[in-house]
């Protein structure tokens, strides 16, 4: 097949390209230029593009850079800023996968006559009776099925994860054996457009006005203090909410965005028995009944029962009470054997 | 290279065989440092000074005005940064200049002058800016735009600069000019002028900065005091010799090459406009150099188009690439007021000495087929 391989400049995509070549595919490497601003988190930098180019040279494949900065701004950065303004905690990396890696890039690949798009994610795509599924990667600790959960059938049919059957250690071994310069490169961390020096505060502070928040006791409503920026506060947060140290541990258990009020209380107050999930994308057909639910990139899964609501959202009934998930976070459903993705959406 | 159709001469030109031959002895047996004091060094020095005379003859200046550099960026940077470092004051340039001029002007918090719809600065607009900007020390205006090929009326620019900012140094980035314009008509108008050898069949990494005797600037490179203390560093003897040979031949062939390539360019653009709807010539041909075709193609993303052209063996370009190698929305088109969406479909096809009618035909065929394919896929 003629495959467009997304080379990030990291070790996983480097080895993925090599795997594709070994399997006899015709491969063109491509690096997406997504964020045009400052970055120091080891993602999407010019040095990464250099690494991607060098790996492509070492493997003997063509390499191009596509400039998707406009799309990235529109689909990832602007919604990220807007979400914070609205009191929602978004996951920009998932939105990047959804809109850039598996939509914009697929579209471009189609246009240019490629049969498939490949990435270096630790996940697998399996087909059974004509139905495509995303399965967890071989390396459970590095599994990334959560961040690619949004692929529907038509995308799964033309997407490849060539290193899903390898552990991270095996990936590094193969990179070293091939003499690829990315063999020992650390994994990228954090959000590419948030610098480690300035953090979220600096990034958002230049884009939206921060509102002061009144911090109150969740039970009796007594005013306990004031936090500097409502938009920076997330459900379940304990530090940085303007409360003096000492005393019982108090967590953010509710945020009333309209009145700029943050309610704090005991962590048990975060426990819920159900949640609603919106913007659902099912891998194949919609599912009801027993599932396993994962609510963060490398988080644990918890048993629940799901049912479909009339408006297309999904109602999750936890088997055991769980901590409330901040609105905006991605919620992914797996089959009861914890093998493959059923679908996922956004915590409402 | 025979399998390729090279239509990217504004990016770089194939090196002339004569230039390669001229430089080879200085890459092998004649390796001496021209600043040395032995006879071997004197031979190298003679080669550099012979080259300097040839270059001065083509440019229309005194040999003493010729400073050999590492290329266009060094010349541009030196003219802007070096002048302001020496004299203070404000740097001024049009908004469609090459980044080698724009970046230093921006770094010095200088002034950018709006350009007209052809990409060239209008003398009246420049006059307004110069009159309202006190203490202008350097004005840098390109002779030919590298992206869209428009020619600046440097006589008008020079008249305005002398009248409105008489103390200012006038520099021109003439990197795209030698194949198309007689430099002897430009040099008398300006105080400084930059060239780059690889744009006219010479090697990469060598260029010329013309510095008129009245001009004082702070050199970017100091040390051994070469080039009359205007540019230190051991001479790139082989590169300088090759530059001179390439420039001499380019100058000698210009009067036949310009009409030949203008004809081929017209053929190329006419065929594309006739075969494809929604193709816009960015700058009227009367305002451009002969070898430049710049088009904006509706409903096309040039990244995709360039990929298909590359697959078809046609080397073309869009705008300038960023540090990462990605296509960037062109600052030139933005300065000209071209709609951003239309600008995404910008395609630059540039012809040169090696371009044949067959190249043009292959270029037309590939562009037409690629554009049709992309439009069909997105329709």
Note down pLDDT in tens along chain A; length 348 residues: 999 999 999 999 999 999 999 999 999 999 999 988 776 655 557 888 999 999 999 999 999 999 999 999 999 999 999 999 988 989 999 999 999 999 999 999 999 999 999 999 999 999 989 999 999 999 999 999 999 999 999 999 999 999 999 999 999 999 999 999 999 998 877 788 888 888 888 899 999 999 999 999 999 999 999 988 999 999 988 887 877 777 788 899 999 999 999 999 998 999 999 999 999 999 999 999 999 999 999 899 999 999 999 888 999 999 999 999 999 999 999 999 999 999 999 999
Asked whether residue A103 falls in the same domain as residue A219, the answer is: no
Q: Is residue A184 part of a domain?
A: no
DSSP result, B118-181: TSSPPHHHHHHHHHHSSSEEEEE--SB-TTT-BBP-HHHHHHHHHHH-TTSEEEEE-TT-TTTS
Domain assignment present for A310: yes
**A254 class by beta-carbon count within 10 Å (0-12 exposed, 13-18 middle, 19+ buried):** middle
Say if A195 falls within a structural domain.
no
Contact check, Cβ <8 Å, B325/A110: no
Residue A12 and residue A150 in one domain: yes
Q: Are residues A99 and A58 in the same domain?
A: yes
Whether residues A26 and A133 fall in one domain? yes
Q: Is residue A185 part of a domain?
A: no
- The answer to whether the beta carbons of residues B215 and B192 sit under 8 Å apart is yes
Instruction: Compare all CA atoms of chain A with the CA of B378 and give the residue at the minimum distance.
Output: A111
Count of domains forming chain A = 3
A65, A108, A110 ranked by CB distance to B326: nearest: A65
Q: Which residues of A touch B (CB under 8 A)?
A: 31, 33, 46, 49, 53, 64-67, 69, 108, 110-112
Q: Residue B335 has which token pair?
A: 């300065």
A193 in any annotated domain: no
Structural domains present in chain B: 5-13+255-378 (3.90.1150.10), 17-249 (3.40.640.10)
CATH of the domain at A330: 2.40.30.10
A8 with A58, same domain: the answer is yes
CATH number at residue A85: 3.40.50.620
Instruction: Verify that A156 and A12 share a domain, yes or no.
Output: yes
Tell me the H-state helices in chain B. Answer: 17-27, 39-59, 72-77, 83-87, 99-107, 123-132, 154-164, 226-229, 237-275, 302-311, 331-336, 340-343, 357-378
Please tell me the distance in Å from A64's CA to the nearest CA on chain B: 8
Are A38 and A69 contained in the same domain? Answer: yes
CB pairs under 8 A between A and B: 36
What is the pTM for the complete model shown?
A: 0.90
Q: Is B325 on the interface with A (CB under 8 A)?
A: yes
Query: Does A255 map to a domain?
Result: yes
Is the same domain home to A143 and A35?
Answer: yes
A80 and A40 share a domain?
yes
Within 8 A of A33 by CB-CB distance, chain B residues are 322, 324, 326
Q: Does a structural domain hold residue A260?
A: yes
Q: Measure CB to CB from residue A65 to each of B304, B324, B377 and give the nearest one.
A: B324
CB within 8 Å: B377 and A111 = yes
Residue B43 CB partners (closer than 8 Å, separation 6+) = B30, B32
Structural domain includes residue A198: no
- Name the residue among A230, A192, A210, A188 with its Cα closest to residue A77: A192
Verify that A90 and A225 share a domain, yes or no.
no
**Domain of residue A116, residue span:** 2-177
The series of mean pLDDT values per 10 residues for chain B, 379 residues long, is: 84 97 97 95 97 98 98 98 98 97 98 97 97 97 97 98 98 98 98 98 98 96 96 98 98 98 98 97 97 96 94 90 74 94 94 98 98 89
Q: In which residue are the tokens 């304990």 written?
A: A238
Same domain, A224 and A329: no
């Amino acid at each position: 097949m003629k495959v467009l391989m997304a080379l990030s400049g990291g070790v996983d995509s480097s080895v993925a390209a090599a795997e594709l070549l070994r399997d006899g595919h015709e491969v063109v490497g491509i690096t997406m230029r997504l964020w045009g601003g400052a970055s120091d988190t080891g993602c999407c930098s010019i040095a990464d593009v250099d690494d991607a180019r060098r790996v492509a040279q070492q493997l003997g494949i063509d390499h191009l850079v596509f400039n998707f900065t406009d799309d990235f701004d529109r689909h990832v950065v602007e919604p990220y800023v807007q979400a914070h303004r609205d009191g929602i905690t978004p996951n920009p990396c998932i939105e990047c996968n959804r809109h850039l890696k598996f939509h914009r890039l697929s579209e471009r690949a189609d246009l240019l006559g490629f049969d498939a798009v490949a990435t270096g994610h630790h996940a697998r795509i399996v087909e059974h009776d004509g139905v495509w599924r995303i399965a967890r990667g071989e390396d459970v600790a590095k599994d990334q099925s959560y961040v690619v959960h949004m692929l529907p059938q038509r995308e799964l049919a033309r997407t490849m994860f060539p290193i899903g059957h390898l552990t991270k250690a095996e990936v590094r071994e193969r990179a070293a054996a091939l003499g690829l310069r990315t063999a020992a490169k650390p994994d990228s961390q954090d959000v590419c457009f948030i610098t480690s020096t300035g953090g979220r505060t600096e990034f958002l502070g230049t884009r939206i006005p921060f509102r002061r928040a009144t911090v109150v006791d969740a039970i009796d409503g007594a005013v306990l203090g004031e936090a500097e920026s409502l938009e920076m506060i997330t459900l379940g947060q304990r530090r940085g909410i303007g409360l003096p140290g000492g005393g019982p541990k108090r967590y953010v258990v509710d945020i009333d965005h309209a009145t700029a009020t943050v309610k704090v209380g005991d962590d048990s107050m975060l426990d819920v028995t159900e949640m609603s999930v919106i913007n659902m994308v099912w891998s194949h057909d919609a599912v009801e009944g027993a599932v396993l639910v994962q609510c963060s990139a490398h988080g644990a899964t918890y048993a629940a029962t799901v049912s479909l609501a009339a408006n297309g959202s999904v109602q999750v009934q936890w088997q055991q009470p769980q901590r409330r998930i901040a609105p905006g976070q991605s919620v992914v459903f797996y089959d009861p054997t914890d093998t493959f993705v059923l679908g996922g959406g956004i915590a409402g | 290279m025979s399998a390729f159709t090279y239509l990217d001469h504004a990016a770089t030109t194939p090196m002339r065989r004569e230039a390669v031959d001229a430089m080879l002895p200085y890459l092998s047996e004649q390796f001496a440092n021209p600043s040395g004091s032995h006879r071997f060094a004197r031979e190298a020095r003679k080669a550099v000074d012979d080259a300097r005379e040839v270059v001065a003859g083509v440019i229309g200046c005194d040999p003493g005005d010729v400073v050999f550099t590492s290329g266009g960026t060094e010349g541009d940077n030196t003219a802007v940064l070096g002048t302001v470092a020496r004299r203070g004051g404000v740097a001024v340039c049009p908004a469609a200049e090459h980044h080698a001029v724009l970046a230093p002007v921006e770094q010095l918090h200088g002034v950018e002058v709006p350009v007209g719809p052809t990409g060239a600065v209008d003398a009246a607009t420049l006059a307004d800016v110069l009159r309202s900007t006190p203490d202008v020390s350097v004005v840098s205006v390109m002779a030919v735009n590298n992206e869209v090929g428009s020619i600046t009326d440097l006589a008008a620019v020079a008249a305005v600069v002398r009248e409105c900012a008489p103390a200012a140094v006038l520099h021109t980035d003439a990197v795209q000019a030698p194949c198309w314009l007689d430099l002897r008509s430009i040099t008398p108008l300006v105080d400084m002028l930059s060239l780059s050898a690889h744009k006219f069949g010479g090697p990469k990494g060598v260029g010329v900065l013309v510095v008129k005797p009245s001009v004082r600037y702070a050199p970017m490179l100091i040390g051994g005091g070469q080039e009359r203390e205007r540019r230190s560093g051991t001479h790139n003897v082989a590169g300088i010799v090759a530059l001179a040979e390439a420039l001499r031949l380019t100058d000698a062939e210009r009067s036949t090459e310009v009409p030949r390539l203008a004809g081929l360019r017209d053929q190329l653009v006419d065929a594309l406009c006739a075969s494809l709807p929604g193709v816009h010539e960015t700058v009227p041909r009367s305002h451009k150099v002969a070898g430049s075709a710049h088009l904006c193609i509706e409903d096309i993303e040039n990244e995709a188009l360039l990929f298909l052209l590359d697959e078809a063996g046609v080397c073309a370009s869009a705008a300038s690439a960023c540090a990462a190698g990605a296509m960037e929305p062109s600052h030139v088109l933005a300065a000209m007021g071209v709609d951003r969406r239309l600008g995404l479909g910008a395609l630059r096809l540039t012809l040169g000495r090696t371009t044949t009618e067959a190249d043009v035909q292959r270029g037309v065929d590939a562009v037409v087929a690629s554009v049709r394919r992309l439009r069909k896929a997105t329709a």
